[in-house]
């Protein structure tokens, strides 16, 4: 069984401020973790993923996330928000070992205030 909890359905930050979107997961097997972004009227796009190896992963557009097994977390951060970061962000988990079912969180809408 696997699940994802995203804390905060809406997050507002000022342009240039730190972006922190929270994600906690549950998985009965070692997890693979993902962050996707969805811009209005566009499809989901993969930002970054953790499968194995280094726990700090870097993605596109300056985003990064750290896998913390002890905290069952995979929070997404970006040092300085840009207006173009305004979108909806989804955290997702799937089990390792050949499982293909991906479970998504309910999403966090990021608003960037000029």
Partner 1 sequence: DTGVSQDPRHKITKRGQNVTFRCDPISEHNRLYWYRQTLGQGPEFLTYFQNEAQLEKSRLLSDRFSAERPKGSFSTLEIQRTEQGDSAMYLCASSLDGDTQYFGPGTRLTVL
Task: Catalog residues that contact partner 1 under the rule CB under 8 A.
Answer: 4, 9, 32, 36, 42-46, 49, 51, 90, 92, 99-107
Closest approach of partner 1 to the CB of residue 50, in Å: 10
Closest approach of partner 1 to the CB of residue 49, in Å: 6
- Indicate the residue among 18 and 56 with the shorter CB distance to partner 1: 56
Closest approach of partner 1 to the CB of residue 56, in Å: 18
Q: Which residue has the tokens 């730190």?
A: 18
- Indicate the residue among 43 and 114 with the shorter CB distance to partner 1: 43
CA distance 109 to 37: 10
Burial class (CB in 10 A: 0-12, 13-18, 19+), 30: exposed
How far, in whole angstroms, is CA 74 from its chain's centroid? 7
């Amino acid at each position: 069984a696997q699940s994802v909890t995203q804390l905060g359905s809406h997050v507002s930050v000022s342009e240039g401020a730190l972006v922190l979107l929270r994600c906690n997961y549950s998985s009965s097997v070692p997890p693979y973790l993902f962050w996707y972004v969805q811009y209005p009227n566009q499809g989901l796009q993969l930002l970054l993923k953790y499968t194995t190896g280094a726990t700090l992963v870097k993605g596109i557009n300056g985003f990064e996330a750290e896998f913390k097994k002890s905290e069952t977390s995979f929070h997404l951060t970006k040092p300085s928000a840009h207006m173009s970061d305004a979108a909806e962000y989804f955290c997702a988990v799937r089990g390792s070992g050949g499982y293909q079912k991906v479970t998504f969180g309910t999403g966090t809408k990021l608003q960037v205030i000029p």
